[in-house]
Amino acid sequence: MHVSLLGLSYFAFQVSASPSLANSILARKYAPQFRFEKEEVFYPSTVEYFLAGPVKLYNENGTAPNVPDRLTNRNLGSIENNGAGMYLTTDIDANEDGFLRGQNPTLGRSTTYAFIAPKDNGVVDLYYWVFSPFNLGKNVTYMNVGWVGNHVGDWERITVRTVNGVATSVEYHAHSNTASTIPWAQVLKFSPWNPRRPPTANITNPFARPVGYIANGSHGIWQSAGAFNYQNVSGIQLYDITSDDGVYWDTQWSLTMINYPDTYSGTLNWLNYAGVWGNKGQTDCWWYSVYPSCKVVTGPIGPARDDVLGMAKRSIGSMLQQESMRLPAQTLATISDGISLYSIRLGPLATNKADEIKTVIVKQYCADSQDTPVSHTLGYSRMRPATRHYVFEVPGCEEGEYVAAYTIGFCTRNVEHMPSKGDNEPASCMFGIKRQLRAFSKASGDNSPQRVQAVDVEDLDNWDI
């Protein structure tokens, strides 16, 4: 095995032709209630409704070779190269008061796309995707910039992680980033018997399900009502606003259930589309060189993407990607005292290479109060044949620092003699993309994430090569 070719993927999974009955029941059991902000006018829709538009498909040059005159959920994914490099485009000004307003879910016409992803170690991740035909950006008053960030097509989600059929956490997603991941015990939930009552984390009803708050216009999904600053660049601060007094949507009986990953045809052919769900963005605004977001920005990719394979992005073993401190996904941890403890699972490919991989490493990143990475600590284990579960002790961070992230490395030589602290690390090791950590106290009633020097982590995602 050559180190330069050694990459990591976090996940092993089983694929069936469609969701099993048990997993379909599980998806309904934890189907969220979405609460729209009171001023919302751009609602979700089905993919079929959006494609009936009018929507056209164009490439980078504004042309549309070999594209059907009428796009449907049955042919969108059959475009040449699955539509890679293409843009689903419409006239925003002409349609902003028309089909781009979507389908108010109180009329029972919209759907939530429930991606059901069974994995190893008892994990089934439930991704509840909401599609909206239009994303209303933000009106920026700073230097009279005006509206920024409008785009056609908008995919947002929340993820419920279940282990052995029981929910353990919820990840809220906003604008291509993880807004927050919190333990199930601290998730705001509603009772189906009283769906309009204020949600609470302490509800005892066994049928209670999570609430996701959808931001006005931009549709980022957050864990509570309020104002959330999600971007602060060059003096431009953008906020999502959520509230309790708009449309409430219980999605339990409006789910489109999709096994993931899988092969898709028929009415799910659209999932093979690899292009952009929206217009190509503008680049001619005067502030673009400072803040690259004009009034209209490029739409998103679809929901069948690598980060739906697990709670973190799929690693490709890139050392450059590894060095990013700000990650789109988070792993939960509990607070430890002095020494961090990591419980890690390896995938079958790595496990079968025990003759080539000599050492497995946990690399724990420490950051200062300004969230700047300043050091790391290491924990080692000799690779053992046919062994997938490893437990590592890792020294905690120094005073004034906190555990911010971690990653796993595979080494082609024995390196246990290396120091557990310091800037040196074995040259024969390749690491995966870092995973951000959120540490919570085990004490009841203490429901905010903590910045601590040591953590306990139970990681149920497989790390593989």
353 within 8 A of 465, measured Cβ to Cβ: yes
Buried b / exposed e along 220-232 (16+ C-beta atoms within 10 A): bbbbbbeebebee
Residue 316 has pLDDT above 50, yes or no: no
Of 418, 417, 416, whose CA–CA distance to 390 is shortest?
Answer: 416
Of 287, 303, 306, 307, whose CA–CA distance to 295 is shortest?
Answer: 287
As a whole number of Å, the end-to-end CA separation of the chain is 11
**Contacts for 267 with CB less than 8 Å, ≥ 6 apart:** 73, 74
Residue 194 has pLDDT above 90, yes or no: yes
Residue 375 has pLDDT above 70, yes or no: yes
For the segment 286-309, the average pLDDT, to the nearest whole number, is: 88
pTM: predicted TM-score of the whole model, two decimal places = 0.91
pLDDT reported for residue 464? 83
Per-residue pLDDT tens digits for 262-282: 899 999 999 999 999 999 999
Both tokens of 188, joined, read: 């705001």
Residue 11 has pLDDT above 50, yes or no: no
Q: What dihedral angle (degrees, nearest 10) is formed by the CA atoms of 418, 421, 426, 427?
A: -150
pLDDT reported for residue 10? 33
pLDDT reported for residue 397? 97
Per-residue pLDDT tens digits for 176-193: 777 789 999 999 999 999
Per-residue pLDDT tens digits for 413-462: 887 666 666 555 666 788 888 889 999 987 655 668 999 999 999 999 88
pLDDT reported for residue 13? 35
Per-residue pLDDT tens digits for 141-184: 888 899 999 999 999 999 999 999 999 999 999 987 777 899 99
pLDDT reported for residue 416? 64
Which region among 113-122, 344-353, 423-432 has the lowest average model confidence (pLDDT)?
423-432
pLDDT reported for residue 135? 97
Whose structure tokens read 């024995």?
414
E strand intervals along 278-335 = 330-335
Model confidence at 328, in pLDDT bands (50, 70, 90)?
very low
Residue 109 has pLDDT above 90, yes or no: no
239 within 8 A of 267, measured Cβ to Cβ: no
Instruction: Give SS3 for 4.
Output: helix
Per-residue pLDDT tens digits for 377-408: 999 999 999 999 999 999 999 999 999 999 99
Both tokens of 443, joined, read: 């004490």
pLDDT reported for residue 426? 64
pLDDT reported for residue 2? 36
For the segment 252-257, the average pLDDT, to the nearest whole number, is: 96
Q: What is the DSSP string of 166-208?
A: EEEEEEEEETTEEEEEEEGGGS-EEBTTBTTSPPBTT---TT-
CA distances from 102 to 50, 74, 248 (A): 8, 20, 16
**What DSSP element (H or E) covers 47?**
helix 47-52
Both tokens of 390, joined, read: 């490893």
pLDDT reported for residue 307? 65
